[in-house]
Structure 1
């Protein structure tokens, strides 16, 4: 225990923050319509998002306790910090250094918020980081299979997790760890993805994970699309925006608001297909506009404050009870078997709202740490740092290309950035060429 006293000292206040969150905002924080879609009793593949998180909630439903869900998510967050700490110690970092690098996992206010939300994000963060941590810990067919399974589960939790399975496979291939870990990773990852896609086929007649990838990409093009340039065929022209570019709202609004031409297209599958076709034509016709919109979104990473004091955002802890609309009240109260609206209990809630104003890692520092570590890792022959680093970069960069920037989408990269920095400056080097098929596995600390 004395060897890990720095971690114990770091964790005690972090546990206290989570206790305050549970006491201050019982039973959970509900996010717009998304939380209620996850909580529905009838289990069906989601239209706009995969239902992996719904499956977890269904397993916990018999307890009829949203508090149980949030407490479990808080515990998973704490356990993840311990796992990252353990890997960094294994790679040679001193206790104080490893504990320092996991403090963002323990104290970042947005991670606290996501752990207390009925949303898929906290579970997604745990699945992705746990998979990467396990594979970096030691590559073998067993660890690769478990890591692949976790990444597959991440893919049916949030589709942005899908590229991470491919990136991990590429990592094993480039590092030449042999065919057995690679095959184990891909087969294990394909199991939850294939099972979910088959469920989608049975329920909705389409083999896939969602019916909205085209919709989201189309909403991205609303930042720049000019139908006079695109010249879409008549069947796609209905999706043309009817307002000047300067007056158009942010892309997500085009998915739900009444002004959106997307809502004029009947049928979820047909709408998604046509939207995808329009988006691809728009990007090919206006590549500069597309890249410009992505670059504009990515400048949000240079913003020091997550949210301004007077900014309206769903990512602030509430100051008063949030009433649930009648259309979805029954969904939440059925799961909770009683009142489910988020209550605000003072003084605990007030203390946490004050903490939220400063308890975070500013995105510019996070991105500087990530880029610096990705540059330094090859120079220092810390090849294992590249997997979490590239995974973090993919999580940060891909949403603006596929939909739009959202501060929530950056948060899953935080644990991976901490892991990347720690592995880059750890004491034990790792060989570029990993385990070949049939060769003995050597521990990284034994490699010169």
Structure 2
């Protein structure tokens, strides 16, 4: 518990504040806040018309929720969703970041932002739009490089987001770019095939959702579409900047669309969108020809865009920049910020002469109460929100900048593995803000960025400064692991048993630790023998928190796969594999690597001494056999550490780090293993201290079949390897008095079985 609190203390504090604020919000405004759009959703619950101004995504959600309760129930559910979004974002950040406090920063805006709280109290689509985006991020980012299945599901979730708010379609751009760039597969010719398949799958998922909805739209409107909006927002944007003198002076229809106010006195986009174009009595004069109002407005907008592209771009960029303003205020001619602020009274938005009666009729029908506000609670919430309880614009800009720099590979980001993840989150947040600004600015449209930009910014920051989780073998020192089973072991073993059952493995199990070995592990598994003599062989791949599709490749090639929820290092993965294999049916355990350095055909030679009873632990040796080295430092290191181990154990050892080894399952699980990274010498000295008979046999070691070694070549790595070797010797030989009793196997094999296997 102390360890849990020490890691997650900041999130727990933020979570307590976020839950408290949501309870107060729910109590302050009953049964819920109703905005103008709310009544459009409610009016469409029965017919589910796709041709209305808003797409049907939130209408469907509202229809379902109202089956279980009234407006107060819907508000409560939306507050719960807000808390869940924060937790998911936090968990997603922890997949990449070592520090819990840094990951908690990602959750803070969602938990504590007053404008987020206010929109959750509204019967509006924003919280569900955010939920669809976060679900997409989780599917694409939580398990490393996306597979075609996950890409397709990501496309489906993006489609759902679009049907909740059509501005979500802009995210298709970073979505596709992410599928092209993720995992660095584009660096190899073989990787492009994988890229093509997953990109096609992602686009297919998006197309299926939008295609089905568009077909339903066609049955109702006689044309394909996603919303009944007919360009009124585009008209509003262009009307606010249009230079009437640049329009064709002979076209009376286009001139009629141009506002009469001089350019310097133009009103805002919101006015021309809703009050000018939205006025059914405008224009008052008869139209000059057969073109409809909609056609004229569309032609007018296109003409202005063609004539004044620079003016339009500057206007959009100006509105985009407002998102990062230090102060949340109403800018001239923009949507009033007060719409998204807590009020001391229950707010009624103008619906005409009978506004109050309409509100009261709705709340009475669904909740049996009149709308109302608790003055004391509302006063507290308003003071909190206006007193700084929101995400400060420059902070949001910093998140965006960090995300861009991290995605660009600045600092240590180039080797971090976080660039594509930072790009997806940051790119999605920025393009949402830019796409919204292309039509009009409203503080409400900033809210989706609260779940996107902080995540991208923190990932970018972690990438630039090396705060992400380290890859195994990078030469750095990791803290020792707790005794088996720790939290990672328990979670991974439980998931494995839920997938395969309690005893799915054969008596002989080959355990492979794998981290980001998707490109190399396939040939290793395909060349693995199915039998060693009469003993059937199972292969157990322990995927150590990989960020690519190693697990999927391993399953496709017939291996049993155990996935550790976070990366700890090869030692942690192998220890988990030893215990899981022993618990699930293994009598003998063999280890090999995922990179193709060892010859699987030598498995019978490795197992023979173990099965005929002449040894308890059999390890290959490249010095007795054949070995290739990728550097002179590696060649020297093998010999130096062999000499050190021989001195410490008083018996000749030629190779301490050969990864192709065989041992009884009970011996593997009886040794104390706490090193997450430099585990080979810890295991070797540990079994010798237990009194096991160790035998080295001549074997072959090749270079990796792909990529680079994760062990590093530096003197720092060598120093850490020596530290582990001497530390293990002190623990096992000096403090515990190793070799006081000879090791005795729990399960002896017959000579006949040994002969069969040989």
Fold similarity call, TM over 0.5: yes
C-alpha spacing 1:437/1:414, structure 2 compared with 1 (3 Å): farther
Q: Which has the higher strand share?
A: 2
Aligned to 2:526: none
Mapped pair 1:345 → 2:374: yes
Shift of 1:91: 0.9
Aligned 8 A contact 1:302 1:364 in 2: yes
Mapped pair 1:212 → 2:217: no
1:140-159 superposed matches below 5 A: 140-159=147-166
Given the alignment, which residue of 320, 335, 338 partners 1:313? 338
Aligned to 1:241: 259
Shift of 1:24: 0.6
Q: Which has the higher contact order (CA 8 A, sep 6+)?
A: 1
Q: Report SS of the residue matched to 1:313.
A: helix
Mapped pair 1:222 → 2:232: no
Shift of 1:157: 0.8
Given the alignment, which residue of 422, 433, 440 partners 1:396? 433
Q: How many residues align?
A: 440
Shift of 1:361: 1.4
Stretch moving more, 238-247 or 153-162: 238-247
Rounded to whole Å, the distance in 2 between the matches of 1:209 and 1:389 is 26
Aligned 8 A contact 1:178 1:436 in 2: no
Name the TM-score, length of structure 2 as normaliser: 0.54
C-alpha spacing 1:349/1:89, structure 2 compared with 1 (3 Å): same
Rounded to whole Å, the distance in 1 between the matches of 2:101 and 2:247 is 57
Rounded to whole Å, the distance in 1 between the matches of 2:348 and 2:115 is 22
Aligned 8 A contact 1:92 1:427 in 2: yes
Q: Report SS of the residue matched to 1:148.
A: helix
1:26-425 superposed matches below 5 A: 26-31=30-35, 33-40=36-43, 41-42=45-46, 43-138=48-143, 139-175=146-182, 176=185, 177-212=194-229, 214-231=231-248, 233-257=251-275, 264=282, 271-307=293-329, 313-323=338-348, 326=354, 328-329=358-359, 332-333=362-363, 336-339=366-369, 341=371, 343-357=372-386, 358-377=388-407, 378-379=409-410, 380-381=413-414, 382-383=418-419, 384-401=421-438, 403-424=439-460, 425=462
Aligned 8 A contact 2:247 2:254 in 1: no
Rounded to whole Å, the distance in 2 between the matches of 1:260 and 1:422 is 42
Rounded to whole Å, the distance in 2 between the matches of 1:229 and 1:221 is 13
Aligned 8 A contact 1:178 1:435 in 2: no
Rounded to whole Å, the distance in 1 between the matches of 2:317 and 2:341 is 26
Stretch moving more, 221-230 or 153-162: 221-230
Deviations 1:273-293 (A, max 9, x none): 442322111111112221222
Aligned to 1:14: 18
C-alpha spacing 1:300/1:254, structure 2 compared with 1 (3 Å): same
Deviations 1:39-98 (A, max 9, x none): 123321243221211111111222341111111111111111111111111113311221
Deviations 1:222-271 (A, max 9, x none): 1210222022734433322111122222101112215878863799x954
Q: Report SS of the residue matched to 1:314.
A: helix
Shift of 1:187: 2.2
Deviations 1:312-341 (A, max 9, x none): 621111211335753644873476153453
Given the alignment, which residue of 25, 31, 36 partners 2:29? 25
Higher alpha-carbon Rg: 2
Superposition CA RMSD, Å = 3.0
Shift of 1:396: 1.2
Rounded to whole Å, the distance in 2 between the matches of 1:179 and 1:288 is 36
Rounded to whole Å, the distance in 1 between the matches of 2:224 and 2:380 is 48
Rounded to whole Å, the distance in 2 between the matches of 1:271 and 1:124 is 32
Shift of 1:159: 0.8
Stretches of structure 2 lacking an aligned partner (at least 5 in a row)? 186-193, 331-335, 472-515, 523-547, 552-565, 570-707, 711-758
Q: Which has the higher helix share?
A: 1
Shift of 1:136: 1.4
Stretch moving more, 434-443 or 246-255: 434-443
Q: Report SS of the residue matched to 1:62.
A: coil
Rounded to whole Å, the distance in 2 between the matches of 1:340 and 1:213 is 36
Stretch moving more, 137-146 or 355-364: 137-146
Rounded to whole Å, the distance in 1 between the matches of 2:91 and 2:199 is 24
Rounded to whole Å, the distance in 1 between the matches of 2:517 and 2:282 is 54
Name the TM-score, length of structure 1 as normaliser: 0.89
Shift of 1:392: 0.8
Q: Report SS of the residue matched to 1:237.
A: helix
